Structure 1
Amino acid sequence: MAKITAALIKQVREDTGAGMMDVKKALTEAEGDVARAKEIIRAKGIQAAGKREGRKAQEGTIASTVVDSANGQVGYAAELNSETDFVAKTPKFVEFADGILADAVKAEADDADAVLAAAAEDGTVKEAIEEAAALFGEHVKLGQYAKIEGPRVEVYAHKKSAEMPPSIVAMIATDEAGAAVAHEAALQISAMDPKWLTREDVPADIVESERRVATEKSLAEGKPEKIVPKIVEGRLNAFFKDNVLLEQQFVKDPSKTVGDLFKQAGGKALGFVRIEVGKGEED
């Protein structure tokens, strides 16, 4: 049995928001398996004890653009983080973020590491960001970065308030016919935060985890064993409807799904990405 360390308890508490004793019990039952402990916590319906401790919210902005390519279009989005929203909303910071994105586009960067290594006006993007700390008086860093390609790409940048820069960017790639409803789909992605395009895209281990949680939860609720499989399938379908873009109810017309929207347009969604300020991995 793995040793239940303070580091393991801290990790599960941060990820679930559950109390220390509940986390310790779950880890003990899971024999130190973090993923299994999270499943146990969810199956028992343990509520979050409060906001995650020791996690400082990141501020910043997201610069985004779409450029034409030989095969259609390419969408780019780059998050630039600051310590405060006071700095994030200044024109200079927004302009600096746009410059970082322009360097990424010029380099046709595929990931954040490639962005940092890209050439800037004087040196690399990494060096430019490091030097920006002196300009803004705060720690500045590159956060999440995304690139998406397709015949057509639609970008929607959401602002939480008029005076703030974009804090959520949704990008979706479609075929030519799908472009007719791409903007509506991008709004949906921004608002509802789907994780996958289709249920076939959901990793098998996640589906199995959800199945175990649903089974254990149903049994814990005292449901008759003979009807548990049917209940589990219903809960799995609810999971897909919450997390799969094409199965989500269309927010502007709940009588149809986002998949229905594309069918009516005679087009297809090929892929999407969503970036939200402060939601990337912590340093």
Structure 2
Amino acid sequence: MANFSLEAVKTLRERLGAGMVDSKNALIEADGDIDKAIEILRLKGMKGVAKREGRATSEGLVAAQESDSSATIIELACETDFVSKNEKFIALADTVINAVVAAGARTLEEALAAPAGSKTVADVITDEAAILGEKVELRRIAVVDGEHFAIYLHKTSKDLPPQVGVVVGYAGSDDETARTIAQHISFADPLYLSREEVPAAEVEKERELVTEIAKNEGKPEAALPKIIEGRLTGFFKTVVLVDQDYARDNKQSVKKVLDSAGLTLSGFARFKVGA
């Protein structure tokens, strides 16, 4: 039997994040040589990558970082919450967001091709996935431009890394209110900043729907225009940020809060793991 100590097993686990049994078996196969054991674990992990391709990645984390004129948010996904809270996975997310921001990437393709040391982000993710033993993927990225930024990362469980993330670009000096707007977005999940951003086809589809509902309810023909417009207003309050009731005071709209604070938003992005 190979001669190795428990300290060697611990070292291997810390360096790769591998399990106790896998670490012991690799050291046995490597006759106690840690460097060789690392190669064995990596090789075995790489062989499993193809098998993992079809698996669902419903866990993970969100990470965000700002630069001089933009803020970037990413979702790094994995298969289980066990891996999502692994230090190796969290460190990987740091590596990825740093590389993506440094490269100025704005699309998923650009992010995956971004340099990360001597490799690309895609290669680093593949290597770490082999070590972690799960499918890991950079699922999406968004970049928000602006003068200033508010970043809010929310933990849905104290034992897990952030799973909801928001970045907000704004002009103005009230940083605290800007942060509360980011918190509001994390809760209210608006899809658009203003009504002008809502696609015309989506508005028309909603108009047709509420018109049909109102007619089926037997509403008077003369009252239909007012009823339809009222229900469209309700639709906009659901999907448009500035039209929403402010989460901290539902007697005020987000627009009123922004105006009172002297803030103008340039954009926002919200990611929720698995959504």
TM-score, L = length of structure 2 = 0.77
Matches within 5 A, 1:164-183: 164-177=160-173, 179-183=175-179
Shift of 1:243: 1.1
2:71 is the alignment partner of 1:59: no
Structure 2 counterpart of 1:236, one-letter code: L
Equivalent-residue separation in structure 1 for 2:201 and 2:127 (angstroms): 43
Equivalent-residue separation in structure 2 for 1:209 and 1:178 (angstroms): 38
| Structure 2 CA distance for partners of 1:193 and 1:222, relative to 1, 3 Å | same
| Structure 2 CA distance for partners of 1:133 and 1:146, relative to 1, 3 Å | same
Give 3-state SS (helix, strand or coil) of 1:146's partner. Answer: strand
2:105 is the alignment partner of 1:95: no
Cα deviation 1:225-279 (Å, max 9, x = unaligned): 2212211101100011111111111111111111111111122112111011112
Runs of 4+ more than 3 Å apart: 177-180
2:154 is the alignment partner of 1:158: yes
Count of aligned pairs between the two proteins? 221
Give 3-state SS (helix, strand or coil) of 1:87's partner. Answer: helix
Give 3-state SS (helix, strand or coil) of 1:177's partner. Answer: coil
Shift of 1:57: 6.4
Equivalent-residue separation in structure 2 for 1:198 and 1:237 (angstroms): 12
Match of 1:149 among 145, 161, 170: 145
Q: Is the 8 A contact 1:77 1:146 kept in 2?
A: yes
Aligned counterpart, 2:112: 116
Q: Which has the larger displacement, 226-235 or 163-172?
A: 226-235
Shift of 1:178: 5.1
2:196 is the alignment partner of 1:200: yes
Equivalent-residue separation in structure 2 for 1:80 and 1:124 (angstroms): 15
2:233 is the alignment partner of 1:237: yes
2:232 is the alignment partner of 1:226: no
Equivalent-residue separation in structure 2 for 1:116 and 1:130 (angstroms): 11
Structure 2 counterpart of 1:62, one-letter code: V
Shift of 1:130: 1.7
Structure 2 gap ranges (5+): 1-54
Structure 1 gap ranges (5+): 1-54
| Structure 2 CA distance for partners of 1:220 and 1:56, relative to 1, 3 Å | farther
Task: Calculate percent identity across the aligned residue pairs.
Answer: 38
Equivalent-residue separation in structure 2 for 1:180 and 1:222 (angstroms): 48
Equivalent-residue separation in structure 2 for 1:131 and 1:259 (angstroms): 46
Equivalent-residue separation in structure 1 for 2:168 and 2:130 (angstroms): 36
| Structure 2 CA distance for partners of 1:174 and 1:223, relative to 1, 3 Å | same
Equivalent-residue separation in structure 1 for 2:56 and 2:260 (angstroms): 44
TM-score, L = length of structure 1 = 0.75
Equivalent-residue separation in structure 2 for 1:173 and 1:123 (angstroms): 31
Structure 2 counterpart of 1:159, one-letter code: K
Equivalent-residue separation in structure 1 for 2:57 and 2:102 (angstroms): 31
2:248 is the alignment partner of 1:252: yes
Q: Is the 8 A contact 2:92 2:125 kept in 1?
A: no
Shift of 1:158: 0.5
Equivalent-residue separation in structure 1 for 2:100 and 2:203 (angstroms): 35
Equivalent-residue separation in structure 2 for 1:266 and 1:80 (angstroms): 35
Shift of 1:197: 0.8
Equivalent-residue separation in structure 2 for 1:175 and 1:207 (angstroms): 29
Q: Is the 8 A contact 2:64 2:167 kept in 1?
A: no
Equivalent-residue separation in structure 1 for 2:118 and 2:129 (angstroms): 16
Query: Which protein is bigger by CA-based radius of gyration?
Result: 2
